[in-house]
Amino acid sequence: MELILSIAIGIMVGSGIWLLLRPRTYQVIIGLTLVSYAVNLFIFTTGKLTTGAPPILKKGVATTLANYADPVPQALVLTAIVIGFATTALFLVVILALRGLSNTDHVDGTESQ
């Protein structure tokens, strides 16, 4: 399972970076979103993969990391997901403003020569 997840993260990062380097604004925003998903997954994996043991405390089960998943990375990633959405929205609006001002959707503001 670790292997699959690593490959998955790698593919998402690769696609995201490819899009980031492209000249059209829409590609950049999709790229950023992909990269942010991948990075969230990466941060999440710092807490080691466990299945079937969500950090919801149950009666009678000892509260150790052997019985539950690691809650700290999860809390971090939750924050990251929400703020990632906010910045995506902001970036979209910046793209729109750029589009309005320069009449093109090239990231440099002018069509390349």
Partner 1 sequence: MAGIIAIIGAIITLTFLPDVLAGNTVIQTLQWLPTYKLNLVFRMDGYAWLFSMLVTVMGALVVLYARYYMSPKDPVTRFYSFFLAFMGSMLGVVLSGNIIQLVIFWELTSLSSFMLIAYWNHRQDAKRGARMALTITAAGGFCLLAAMLMIGHVVGSYDLDVVLGSGDTLRNHPWYLSILILFALGALTKSAQFPFHFWLPNAMAAPTPVSAYLHSATMVKAGVFILARFWPVLADTAAWFWVIGMAGLCSLFLGAFVATFQRDMKAVLAYSTISHLGLITLLLGLNSKLALIAALFHMVNHATFKASLFMATGIVDHETGTRDLVLLSGLRKAMPITATLAVVAAAAMAGVPLLNGFISKEMFFAETLNLPDYLEVSTWLPVFAVLASAFSVAYSLRLIVQVFFGPKATDLPREPHEPPRWMLVPSAILVMLCLLIGMMPQTVIGPILASAAQAILGPALPDYSLAIWHGFNLPLTMSLIAMGGGILLTIILRPLQKRMPGQTPLLYRLDGRTFFDGLMNTIDTVAYQVMSLFSTRRLQPQVLWIVVITVVVTIMPLLLFEAWPKLVMRNIDLPFTLLWIIGACCAMGAAYQAKYNRFRSLVLLGGAGLCCSLTYLWLSAPDLALTQLVVEMVTTVLLLLGLRWLPRRMTTEPASDKGRAMVRRLRDMIIAVIAGVGMTVLTYLQLSRPRPEGVSSFYLEKALPEGGGSNVVNVLLVDFRGFDTYGEITVLSIVALTVYALLRRFRPPRESLKALEDRRFRQSGDTAAVDDDAELPRGTMLVPTVISRFIMPISTLIALFFLLRGHNLPGGGFVGGLIFAAAVILQYMMGGIRWVEDRSRIFPQYWIAAGLLMAGAASIFAWFAKLPFLSALAADLDLGPLGHLHLSSVMMFDLGVFAVVVGSTLFMLVALSHQSLRFYKKASAETADDNQEGNPISGNTPEAGLKRDTVDPPSPSATPNDQGAPSWN
Q: Tell me which residues in 83-102 interact with partner 1 (CB under 8 A).
A: 83-90, 92-97, 99-101
Please list every residue from 15 through 54 that binds partner 1, using CB under 8 A: 15-27, 29-31, 33-34, 37-38, 40-42, 44-54
Residue in this structure with the two tokens 């399972």, named with its chain if needed: 1
In the complex, what is the shortest distance from the CB of residue 28 to partner 1, in angstroms, rounded to a whole number?
8
In the complex, what is the shortest distance from the CB of residue 20 to partner 1, in angstroms, rounded to a whole number?
6
The reply to whether 60 sits near partner 1 by the rule CB under 8 A is no
Identity (one letter) of the amino acid at 88? T
Residue in this structure with the two tokens 């995506």, named with its chain if needed: 88
In the complex, what is the shortest distance from the CB of residue 60 to partner 1, in angstroms, rounded to a whole number?
12
**Paired tokens of 59:** 């009666």
> By C-alpha distance, which of 60, 85, 88, 55 is closest to 71?
55
In the complex, what is the shortest distance from the CB of residue 18 to partner 1, in angstroms, rounded to a whole number?
4
Q: CA-to-CA distance for 65 and 109, rounded, in angstroms?
A: 51
Size of the site for partner 1 (CB under 8 A): 91
Calculated CA dihedral for residues 102, 108, 111, 112, nearest 10 degrees: 160
